[in-house]
Structure 1
Amino acid sequence: MLRSCLTLVLVATTALVTALPAGACGEEDGPEPKAAPAAGAPGAVKNVEAVGNVPDAQGAIALEFLDYGRRDVMVVSGEFGLKTYDLANPTAPKLIGELSLPGMWETENTEVDRKRKLVFLARDPRAFGGNVRTGESGIYVVDVKNPEKPVVRSYVQVPAGHTTSCIDDCRYLWTGGPAKADNQPADWGGRPIWVTDVRDPAKPKVHPEPIELARNDGKTDYVHDVQVDQTGVAWVSGRGGVRGYWTKGWHRDPVQGKWRKATPVNPVPYAGGGIEETAAPSKFMHNSLRPIEKGKWGENNLIYAVEESFLDGCAGDGVLVISSLEGSYGGQGWRSTPEDPFRLKTVGTWGVAGQEGSDPASGDCSAHYFDLRGDILVQSFYAQGTRFLDVSDPTDPKQIAYHRPADAASWAPYWHKGLVYVADNTRGVDILKLRN
């Protein structure tokens, strides 16, 4: 039976660890809880040195980094709210500040305004005991100009709230997910994107009409994540694939067939579309990244995306999918229908099932957030830990290293100054160094 991220819920426990961190991006029913591994139970490690751990960040879901001149600070968000750490010693972060929001959910893909020193926390409707159908969702704007004293600058209710992402240098936010509320259209499969103007962070203004509709072969569906590439294109991932938009400047709109000005509220379609079902059967793409490079596949012509999906066992769980954007620059992804579907061509895939260092008995194996530096991609696979892949040949990604503690709940890895910081929901933050 399919147990996808679209059908999970936050399960309140105090002494148990679920096979999947509860409510990872889900909606209704959670998996049966499992007892935590025995202390000292073995995991698996290869070509990685664990150089540090931050256990007081237990419940971590996402993290980011801020530069204060000669001072480097890590901000960690999660079920506890927000914590700040001084990185004077990068392998032993020191807790310096905290914004306590016990019961907060979920803060995936927490983003920061590096210039204004702001952190944007997405409040999922399941936070503080709520539920998808009737719970309140919104955005907290947190001021960290003084990282020792994070303070809420403002809070605004938004009809979506699973993730929120910076658009146009954090002047605007795009917020999406999770499943639809009772007061939203019955034919929606999930919440699309709402745009919030945060040019004045003390007075956020939510645009009343959502965008990124009809994304799943003509059906409005669950938008999970937005990532902006180095050229300014905002890539929107969710059920139905990945589609990219210009959010500023003048561009030719391939759907309307004319040149027009792109704005965060009225973006111009660029490229993208559905992912082939042979690569991602669930059609639910959790997050994505377009590498900016020239190569065999053309200039900036690949899109990396991960499917989050959970089946009984490990073999069918979500994978990393690398697709070509070729053939999608004419608006094909916006004209796709069930009768005449458009799909991006799959270039390569990689999944953790059956790979060296994996243990299906230790828990779920779905793909989750990843980060890319050059040809090395580092990716979280929940209980299967953190994996390092060589993607120099995108048709054949190869695992070169892994770090899977027995109690791993790896949610998101981040490259930072030669190290990888992993937000682990049970362990806090693991700090890893890839061996040469």
Structure 2
Amino acid sequence: MSRRRTLTGTLLSTTAALALVAGASPALAHSPQPSTERDIARAQVAAGVPVPVFASPNVELVAAFPETLGISGVFGISSPHFYMSTTDSISAFNVRNPSLPVLTDTIVIANFENESMTYGERVINGKLRKFILVGIDLVKASPTEEPQHVNVGGGEMIIIDVTDPNDIKQVGRVSDVPNSTHTVACAKETACRYAYTAGSRGKYSIIDLTNLSAPKVLKTLRSPASRENELFVRGAGHKWNFDNAGYGLHTGSGGTAIFDVVDPKNPKVVQATNFQGTAPMWNDFIHHNTMRPNASRFRAFSPPSVANGNVALITEEDYFNDGEEVLCEEAGTIQSWYIPNLNGAAYRSNNPNLDPDKGAIRPLDMFNPVTEQGQPVGAFCSAHWFDYHSSGILAQGFYQGGTQFIDVRDPRNLKSFGFFRSAATETWDAYWVPQRDSAGRSTGRQTNLVYAV
């Protein structure tokens, strides 16, 4: 108990407050699993009836407002707004007071899955344009579109202009992407001209956003991360995460790969996971998403430390493989991997075919904190999306395992820092609320509030 109080002080407050934004049911790689108990609990929340809440002493619920099957969200950078995607709409919220989000506009768009909505902005003709990239991989339809613009099957990305948060609207689309658009990410959020797709079958695409009204596929390239493993026999990429040192980390069924993206039109792979990147236990399903904190501090062969920028924090999502993943101790984990070097010339020379499992990135630890807290109702508790706090604490969704806070300061010993879960929700995503200056711009640091979707 005294240890937890000491750690809490690093979160800028004596209490790690949680703002619960929305509930959802499991995603693509996520076929929904109905839960009568959970549906009843959601209805009770909507009616103002208290439902069971389980939380560690250092986490408290600040606010809750049910949404319709929330899937993903993202904070704006240059203004205090939060954007959320559900199965039937995309909404903008003013979060100048982050404990009291105010809805500003909604665009009706039936969309699955848009699992990781990406924010981007760029100065165009002297004006700052703000927009959201929405990846479509199953279905998308809008009441304002002609029937031929209804997508079933994926390979599409749309652009939602959010420059005016009171009037958000679709302004562009590309529908001929030759690989998975399960997620799409800006190579640089504050100057977003190029975006990378999740990819599949060993490839991914770069989308040119020079003209927001007419985005186009610039080129399609290879990545070991979107290569095959035992379950994904054709290969599936999943997410690009870009760090502050000019690198992009690509996760997928083939493990994790790192690319030099200083020239975002011509990325070069520089390193990837070793044989354990597709091995049982470390990747039973898919490497889902990753972050490399403090990337600018990287020095080759320095001791593994999050502070040294040589640790990749990776979600291994696993809720469907050999059937045992309904048990939390068999479900997907949060993992830490050591990056010894970024010698791209050597990596490419030794692996010209960009096969998976040929890199030097090796695992340090894995952890599923839900196993310490008892089996949740529904028994669906794989690790999912997370966000990193500069204090060294992750906020992460674990589906019916709720929102988990994980201490990653020692990458060889990942451990629980706190948790929150409710009978009314599942958590897909968790986002630290950013600190902002007097003009509402993000400072790059975080508050002690978390939005859980």
Question: Same-fold call, TM > 0.5?
Answer: yes
How far residue 149 of structure 1 moved from its aligned partner, in angstroms, is 0.6
2:213 corresponds to which residue?
202
Q: What is aligned with 2:387?
A: 371
Q: How does 1:17-36 map to 2 (within 5 A)?
A: 21-26=25-30, 30=31, 33-36=34-37
The equivalent residue for 1:108 is: 115
Match of 2:412 among 380, 395, 416: 395
Q: Which residue of 2 aligns with 1:362?
A: 378
C-alpha distance in structure 2 between counterparts of 1:78 and 1:284, whole Å? 23
SS of 2:377's equivalent in the other structure is: helix
Deviations 1:347-392 (A, max 9, x none): 1111134213x42433311000111112111111011011111112
Counterpart of 2:131, as a letter, is L
Match of 2:451 in 1: 422
1:239 Cα deviation from its structure 2 partner: 0.4
The aligned amino acid for 1:303 is A
Question: 1:315 aligned to 2:329?
Answer: yes
**Secondary structure in structure 2 of the residue aligned to 1:90:** coil
Aligned ranges 1:249-328 → 2 under 5 Å: 262-264=263-265, 266-274=266-274, 275-276=276-277, 277=279, 279-282=281-284, 284-292=286-294, 293=297, 296-297=303-304, 299-310=308-319, 311-326=325-340
How many Å apart are 1:343 and its aligned residue? 5.9
Match of 1:223 in 2: 237
Structure 1 letter corresponding to 2:284: S
Contact 2:107 2:168 in 1 (8 A): yes
Which one-letter code corresponds to 1:150 in the other structure? I
Q: Where does the alignment leave 5 or more consecutive residues of structure 2 unmatched?
A: 1-22, 42-49, 123-128, 143-150, 320-324, 436-446
Partner residue of 1:164 out of 175, 179, 184 = 184
SS in 2 for 1:315: helix
Equivalent residue letter for 1:347: L
* 1:6-85 mapped onto 2 (5 Å cutoff): 21-26=25-30, 30=31, 33-37=34-38, 38-39=40-41, 40-46=50-56, 47-55=58-66, 57-67=67-77, 72-85=80-93
Q: Distance in 1 between matches of 2:280 and 2:213?
A: 46
Contact 1:214 1:220 in 2 (8 A): no
Deviations 1:304-350 (A, max 9, x none): 10111112322211001101112663316766758x85563211111
How far apart in 1 are the matches of 2:154 and 2:60?
42
Q: Is 1:193 aligned to residue 195 of structure 2?
A: no
Amino acid paired to 1:23:
A
Structure with the higher fraction of residues in helix conformation: 2
Q: What is the identity, as a one-letter code, of the residue corresponding to 1:21?
A: S
Question: Which structure 1 residue ranges, 5 or more long, are not aligned?
Answer: 1-18, 181-187, 249-261, 425-436
**Matches of 2:448 and 2:212 in 1, distance apart?**
32
Distance 1:75 1:327 in 2: 37
* Structure 1 residues 135 and 286, CA gap change in structure 2 (3 angstroms): same
What's the TM-score once normalised by structure 2's chain length?
0.74
Question: SS at the partner of 2:332?
Answer: coil
Report the Cα distance in structure 2 between the residues aligned to 1:327 and 1:166, rounded to whole angstroms: 25
Give the TM-score taking structure 1 as reference length: 0.76
Give, in angstroms, the shift of residue 212 of structure 1: 2.2
Select 1:383's aligned residue among 373, 392, 400: 400
Q: Quick one: which amino acid aligns to residue 35 of structure 1?
A: T
